[in-house]
Structure 1
Amino acid sequence: MILPGATLGVLGGGQLGRMFTLAAHSMGYKVWVLDPDPDSPTGSMADRHLQAAYNDTAALDEMASGCAAVTTEFENVPAETLEFLEARIPVRPGSKAVAIARDRIREKSFIRDLGLPTADFFAINSAADLEQACAGLTMPALLKTAQFGYDGKGQIGVNDLAQARLAFDDLNEAPCVLEECVQLEQELSVILARGTDGQTAVYPPGENLHVKGILDTTCVPGRFDDDVAASARYMALKLANAMDYRGVLAVEFFITTDGRLLINEMAPRPHNSGHYTIDACLTSQFEQQVRTVCGLPPGSTRLLSAAVMVNVLGDLWSKGPPRWQHLFAETHTNLHLYGKEEARPGRKMGHFTSLADDPTEAMRIAERVRVAIDPAAPDEA
């Protein structure tokens, strides 16, 4: 076990790294972050900010020498970086698991090979693959880049082969998956933490709502049947065990209108839909990340309150300063801002979480807060 007083490293300086750093500090650890951005949200919180590229060998050598273990806050760190570090110190999750989760072709193939359900898809490595893929799927479909896609980026809807060819050209003919669109009833996610001895702690599945490809709200407990929740937990655990995973893993699911539960994708890190755990659970997903990277057993995932998490995007600032005084007037709502200087449309600037005795009341409070903080809302809001 790596105990308090040690220094931990995190690759990536966004809001997830920032919240990891806050959790690590509260537990008595120091944190170094490697991120090329001088204004990274994590850099301002960490004990040391190594401002360098992820493939900077000198910076990686320094991190390996100064840190007891390393984790990541996003999956697009170069594989060579993870391999370089894990030859020297513990890296959790490891490069093999991250390599699966970061590439949609490998990820979906891995899930399918385990016998777990996904939407029908074809791997697209060249334009020549499109004809067979379009013939084998029921249109419409989504063409998604295999790597570097998030929050709806790197994907284009298509209705036929001609559109698929144009979309593939628009995506610079990068490797992609062509995935059949499904009729959605609900979306949900499972967050789990798996330790070095395989001990696993699973959070209650959250019900998610996306707007324009970006997560808008997560509601816990999710408003779906118990058997759906149990199936989602089973599938997430099967994935984690098959990868011999070490760390925090998020698995996103679709519930279709005909009642199927399908795996959409997974993330080898804490996840936006798990932010509610900071305020509503005995152990947050970020404390779990600290625990698993340090070889400690996962903490309890006990839900202390129903909760609704709402993302706060940069669009809100375009109308003027958010009216935070109305949020603070709600005694059952907590605000978390990420320290980002520039508010841009679609950029995640923070989130708030509303707590209540049941999810319906938590959602009512959250929606009231959403309206009240809007600078364009009437004063009586």
Structure 2
Amino acid sequence: MTGSVLAWARADVGMSVRGLAEALDVAPATVEQWESEDAHPSTGQFKRLSKVLGRPENFFFLTRPPKKADTANAAFRTAYGKGEWLAPDPKISQQLRLARRVQTVSAWLGRKLGDPNPSVPAVIIRDAPEKVADLLATWINWSLEIQTNNTEARTSQILRQLLQDRGLTVLHLPLNEDTAVRGFSLPHPVAPLMAINTKENYRARLFSYVHELAHLALHDDSVCLVQNDEGTERWCNEVAASFLVPEDDLRKYVAEKFGSEKISTLDQVSALRGRYKVSLLAVALRLERLGLGRPGLYASVSRTLEKRAKGGRPDPDRPQNRARVRLQTYGRHYVGSLLEAAESDILPETQVLDILKVSRSELADLRVLSRSGAEG
């Protein structure tokens, strides 16, 4: 095993020497000896090391580390109520590398196809969340009527498509539930990208789309594992809540249901959230922010909230074949660009097959699905 390659892989997932040592149940000095090649792991230790760092075993026998790090810079969105910094997770690292590859291909395709740059509105964290929410809603042509006139699933699908219509790549990835990561964003001048956890329900996805859009508007490219209630994360949450729960409508709706009393119970919050297709916490955050809820309402709801619901269920009328899964994962914007590149002889069809990991017959199915708008 090449020690410098091990050190590179460890750094790539953001893990310290001590962190790797604890994951492998060895002393930190042992990891240091492996990286300096003064000692080598046993077969069992090596297999666990490969799994923890999310790299195939043969990767560690490269003669030198990769010249260019493929670490994906990302701002992570964590689950509500998580008060501790998240530990690096190999599965998340793998999904980040996938997202970075998709972003690289998407940027190349955009230039070759002559697509206009997405031009995500630029904001700063000192901007009022209400103002930023209005700006982003106008940019993607969003309206409250979309939320109130559609089911949760359909509202989520419409928002994803509007984001893609603006040139954003929107991935749906099965991030592990126990990682507490709900999504991440990768800014880029030509190919901005966001990834949403499909283990989340439609209400959580809806909120995450806007939260990640706020990150992209900040052009936030820091590598971080963030707490949900502090700094940039808190601000992005407030932007998403303002976007999905407009102040004027909420004030009117609260007055109709509860008069002038301040909202103080979980039942009252629950009675309000159905209109906006968002979570209890999103409504609680909005109520407290606008002075419509008692102080501490958000924290109280967070403490009593039941376990998060599972992700959205597939449509039973849409069989989950490989073509549909690819379209759901990568989205119509990215898949459509690949298909257009193949039809325009910008990319050989064999390369598109390799990128999407589908057969020719599945690619034909993908063309039909993409054109029909059946993204799911």
More relative contact order in 1 or in 2 (CA 8 Å, sep 6+)? 2
| Higher CA-based Rg | 2
Structure 1 or 2: more strand by fraction: 1
Structure 1 or 2: more helix by fraction: 2
Q: Same fold (TM over 0.5)?
A: no
Q: TM-score, normalised by structure 1?
A: 0.26
